[in-house]
């Protein structure tokens, strides 16, 4: 019986597996090889250099600076984005029932715009002369707080961080609302009868039953924090003043297409891939618990 079942599955799975192998696994294999070469990107010759690219990477201060910025984003983005999204999702369902669908559309709106458009729009917001932010500060009598937000090495990374939060929260609000709506209302009714206040119900019922959603969201935001190429490229070209907002993905593209060091850039990409896989595995392990069913 099992043999017949497998014979039936193979014809359906084979096309997808072949496509996955050709367009995913094979490019990964090629990238791994290129990472051990000194390929310049213009010649068919790929001289093998062994671990030279990775030794160079270990001593590359620009790479470590960019990786440090990714690490800061990794520490801040998941906590900030998911905390705000959870609060807004709970308010949308409980405190703002009237027009809840409209609120979800508003929250989700940034997701329909490309990251390039978001970066360009926020460039205007942060513009030192005609920007909405400095204009609002001036109108409120807070002109002393005006800054060259994207030109200040101490502020540019946090400006991009704020944009990343704004762009990411909406998706997870809708995602968490869908998860909360699947929780039976009887559980909340029972909690109210037992004297639980809304915060206790949220902490004792909502969060535990959203564990699977939180696990997936945490991984998505974490992987996003290891990227951020588009926002940095659009809002802080060249990594910003003194590379104060540089990230690994932007530096990799600059090494490849700006310096024609495709072998070295591929080595950076391999390291980024390993970090992403390690992060995903670690988050799965740290958040793995017995599944709650309801």
pLDDT given at position 252 = 95
Q: Is residue 270 part of a domain?
A: yes
Q: What is the mean pLDDT of residues 282-286?
A: 81
**pTM of the predicted protein model:** 0.86
Q: Is residue 42 part of a domain?
A: no
**How far is Cα 117 from Cα 114, in angstroms, rounded to an integer?**
5
CA distances for 1 relative to 8, 14, 107, angstroms: 11, 20, 50
Who has greater pLDDT, 215 or 11?
215
- Residues 186 and 247: beta-carbon distance below 8 Å: no
pLDDT given at position 289 = 62
Q: Is residue 8 part of a domain?
A: no
Whether the pLDDT of residue 291 is over 60: the answer is: no
**How far is Cα 145 from Cα 133, in angstroms, rounded to an integer?**
10
Query: What six digits make up the tokens of 242?
Result: 């003194």
pLDDT given at position 95 = 55
3-state helix, strand, coil in the chain (%, to 5): 75, 0, 25
**How far is Cα 210 from Cα 207, in angstroms, rounded to an integer?**
5
Query: What six digits make up the tokens of 286?
Result: 């740290």
pLDDT given at position 187 = 84
Share of the chain above pLDDT 90, in %: 47
Q: What is the pLDDT of residues 259-281, one digit of tens each?
A: 999 999 999 999 999 999 998 88
pLDDT given at position 49 = 92
Whether the pLDDT of residue 63 is over 90: the answer is: yes
- Residues 259 and 271: beta-carbon distance below 8 Å: no
For the chain, the domain total comes to: 1
225: nearest Cα among 118, 57, 72:
72
Whether the pLDDT of residue 104 is over 70: the answer is: no
- Local confidence band at 178 (pLDDT 50, 70, 90 cut-offs): confident
Residue 184's domain is classified under what CATH number?
A: 1.10.3720.10
- Residues 147 and 155: beta-carbon distance below 8 Å: yes
Whether the pLDDT of residue 292 is over 70: the answer is: no
Whether the pLDDT of residue 42 is over 90: the answer is: no
pLDDT given at position 2 = 55
- Residues 26 and 261: beta-carbon distance below 8 Å: no
Q: Is residue 260 part of a domain?
A: yes
Whether the pLDDT of residue 234 is over 90: the answer is: yes
Q: Is residue 242 part of a domain?
A: yes
Residues ≥6 apart with Cβ < 8 Å to 235? 119, 122, 123, 126, 150, 156, 159, 160, 163, 245
Q: What is the mean pLDDT of residues 163-190?
A: 88
Q: Is residue 99 part of a domain?
A: yes
Residue 241: which domain range? Answer: 59-286
Q: Is residue 119 part of a domain?
A: yes
pLDDT given at position 155 = 93
Who has greater pLDDT, 170 or 64?
64
- Local confidence band at 161 (pLDDT 50, 70, 90 cut-offs): very high
Query: What six digits make up the tokens of 52?
Result: 């030279």
Computed over its alpha carbons, how large is the radius of gyration of the chain? 24
Q: What is the mean pLDDT of residues 107-114?
A: 81
Quickly tell me which residue has 């600076």 as its tokens. Answer: 65
- Residues 246 and 234: beta-carbon distance below 8 Å: no
**How far is Cα 157 from Cα 233, in angstroms, rounded to an integer?**
12
Largest Cα–Cα distance in the chain? 78
CA distances for 280 relative to 172, 182, 223, 226, 229, angstroms: 18, 26, 8, 11, 19
pLDDT given at position 96 = 53
Q: What is the pLDDT of residues 120-138, one digit of tens each?
A: 999 999 998 888 999 999 9
Q: Is residue 107 part of a domain?
A: yes
- Local confidence band at 190 (pLDDT 50, 70, 90 cut-offs): confident
3-state secondary structure 112-163: HCCHHHHHHHHHHHCCCCCCHHHHHHHHCCCHHHCCCCCCCCCCHHHHHHHH
pLDDT given at position 200 = 83
Who has greater pLDDT, 204 or 19?
19
């Amino acid at each position: 019986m099992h043999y017949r079942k497998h014979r039936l599955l193979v014809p359906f799975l084979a096309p997808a597996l072949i496509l996955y192998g050709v367009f995913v696994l094979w490019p990964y294999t090629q990238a791994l090889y290129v990472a051990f070469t000194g390929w310049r990107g213009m010649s068919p010759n790929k001289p093998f250099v062994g671990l030279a690219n990775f030794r160079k990477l270990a001593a590359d201060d620009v790479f470590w600076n960019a990786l440090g910025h990714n690490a800061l984003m990794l520490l801040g983005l998941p906590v900030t984005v998911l905390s705000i999204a959870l609060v807004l999702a709970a308010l949308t369902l409980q405190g703002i029932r009237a027009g809840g669908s409209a609120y979800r559309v508003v929250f989700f709106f940034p997701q329909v715009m490309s990251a390039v458009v978001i970066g360009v729009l926020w460039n205007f917001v942060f513009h030192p002369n005609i920007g909405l932010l400095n204009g609002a500060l001036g109108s409120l009598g807070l002109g002393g707080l005006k800054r060259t937000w994207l030109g200040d090495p101490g502020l540019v990374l946090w400006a991009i961080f704020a944009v990343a939060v704004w762009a990411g929260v909406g998706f997870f609000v809708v995602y968490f609302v869908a998860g909360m709506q699947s929780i039976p209302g009887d559980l909340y009714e029972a909690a109210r009868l037992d004297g639980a206040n809304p915060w206790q119900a949220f902490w004792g019922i909502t969060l535990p039953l959203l564990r699977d959603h939180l696990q997936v969201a945490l991984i998505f935001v974490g992987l996003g924090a290891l990227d951020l190429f588009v926002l940095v490229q659009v809002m802080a070209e060249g990594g910003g003043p003194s590379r104060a907002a540089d990230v690994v993905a932007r530096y990799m593209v600059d090494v490849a297409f700006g310096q024609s060091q495709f072998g070295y850039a591929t080595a950076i990409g391999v390291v980024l891939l390993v970090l992403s896989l390690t992060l995903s595995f670690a988050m799965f392990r740290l958040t793995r618990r017995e599944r709650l069913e309801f």
